Structure 1
Amino acid sequence: MPIAKNLRILVVDDQKSMRELARMCLRGLGVEEIDFVESAEAALERLKEAPFDLIISDWNMEGMTGLEFLKKIRQNPVLARMPFVMATTERTAEHVLAAKSAGVSHYIAKPYSQENFKKTLEQVLGPLT
């Protein structure tokens, strides 16, 4: 069981309001180590600098999309097994299947509640304490 306060999570979203929602939900769950970046390109750089336990990424971003970012993560031998949650407004079966085919760990629809966020994290990481 992961201890929430010991988790290090990278949130990738180009919308400030969504980064703030993620911050509020994660802090409410007891997560203290949260890094935020506005693009997949910035996330790839941050991943070179520090280890993370989980990536939470938006799908629709300027430049590299969340799906393209996920594929890059899964192709990287060092990062390939890192849990990756896609948080997005894209809810079609086509989008969900594309993310699953690319190796997403879980998919959560925006906007989400803290309760939904907790369920998602626990499905990916196991019960939080």
Structure 2
Amino acid sequence: MVVDDQTSMRAMIRRALQDLGFKDVRDKPGAVEALSAIKADRVHLVISDFNMPEMDGLQFLEAVRTDPVIGKTVFIMLTGSADKEIVQKAAALGVNNYVVKPFAPAALKEKIERVFGELT
């Protein structure tokens, strides 16, 4: 599940994931919609932007981590800055990895492989 309020960013990440071999890539423009979608139909990986209206990436991560059903879902945070405070808060909430925008698809692949192991 790709969660980002920017349509172009969602499309780019979705395309990168498909190129890496991911078959069922879904996306949502916001964390509120994404949260209800993954509760209804679980996913193995969430890639979420930090800076979104309504519910930011940290709030979304916290909501996922505190849910007994989806709490172990792999979560990678996207952020437009390498702000240490955001990274530390995300780490404290249990983020699996983070990617600083802008990034190349190879960087995203590396972050995913650090969590899941080598993609084939």
Q: TM-score normalised to the size of structure 1?
A: 0.89
Q: Does 1:105 align with 2:96?
A: yes
> What's the CA shift for 1:48?
2.4
* Counterpart secondary structure, 2:26: strand
Q: What letter is aligned with 2:99?
A: I
Residues in 1 aligned to 2:57 and 2:87: alpha-carbon distance in whole angstroms: 12
Aligned length: 120
Structure 2's unaligned 5+ residue stretches are: none
Matched residue, 2:57:
66
Kindly report structure 1 stretches of 4+ aligned residues shifted beyond 6 Å: none
Q: TM-score normalised to the size of structure 2?
A: 0.95
Residues in 2 aligned to 1:51 and 1:12: alpha-carbon distance in whole angstroms: 14
Q: Could you say what the CA RMSD is over the residues aligned between the two structures, in angstroms?
A: 0.9
**Does 1 or 2 have the higher relative contact order (CA < 8 Å, sep 6+)?**
1
Q: Does 1:14 align with 2:38?
A: no
Q: What letter is aligned with 2:73?
A: M
8 Å Cα contact 2:2-2:13 kept in structure 1: yes
Q: Does 1:41 align with 2:26?
A: no
Structure 1's unaligned 5+ residue stretches are: 1-9
